């Protein structure tokens, strides 16, 4: 679930105005209840309001030769110290002081190769991305702690 060598925290927050494109990093953002990140194209009344990816996965992609940075895989929140693949659907995740997200989906199916695939040469979100819906809103910022709660 967690990598004991690293503190579980947010290392990047990113938003985009259009789906299927890399996201732009921001220092802080508002998570809105049952919506997602304010100003993000993926926000709305559905089960994939916010997306997560491990910073370690982005680093592994770099080591394979991909020229990528935070937001390039269209993830909203990159974290350190969390092995997202070990987190079951239904798990609740506290972000910062007040935000609460429930994990709703692991991975996704891509029907077409998106701009991210063509830009980066690969997209790890279908394999390693985690998605959730916002149960309780709040401000989130880079460096904020992440706490994993039990499944509901």
Multiple choice CATH, 9-151, 1.10.10.60, 1.25.40.10, 2.40.33.20, 2.40.33.10 = 2.40.33.20
Is the pLDDT at 4 greater than 50, yes or no? no
- For residue 95, give the nearest of 53, 147, 36, 50 by alpha carbon: 147
- Spans of all domains in the chain: 9-151
Q: What are phi and psi of 95, to 5 degrees?
A: -120, 120
pLDDT, tens digit (0-9, with 9 covering 90-100), for 23-42 = 999 999 999 999 999 999 99
Whether the pTM exceeds 0.85: the reply is yes
The yes-or-no verdict on residue 3 having pLDDT over 60 is no
Terminal-residue alpha carbon distance, the chain: 16
Contact (CB, 8 A) for 133 and 47? yes
pLDDT in tens, 107-139: 876 656 655 566 656 666 768 899 999 999 999
């Amino acid at each position: 679930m967690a990598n004991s060598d690293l503190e579980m925290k947010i290392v990047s927050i990113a938003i985009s105005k259009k789906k299927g494109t890399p996201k732009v990093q921001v220092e802080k953002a508002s998570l809105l209840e049952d919506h997602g990140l304010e100003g993000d194209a993926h926000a709305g009344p559905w089960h994939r309001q916010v997306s997560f990816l491990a910073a370690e996965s982005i680093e592994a992609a770099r080591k394979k030769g991909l020229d990528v940075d935070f937001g390039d895989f269209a993830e909203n929140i990159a974290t350190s110290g969390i092995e997202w693949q070990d987190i079951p659907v239904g798990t609740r995740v506290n972000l910062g002081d007040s935000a609460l997200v429930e994990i709703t989906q692991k991975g996704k199916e891509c029907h077409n190769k998106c701009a991210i695939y063509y830009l980066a040469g690969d997209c790890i979100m279908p394999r390693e991305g985690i998605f959730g819906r916002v149960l309780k809103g709040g401000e989130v910022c880079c460096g904020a702690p992440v706490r994993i709660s039990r499944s509901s």
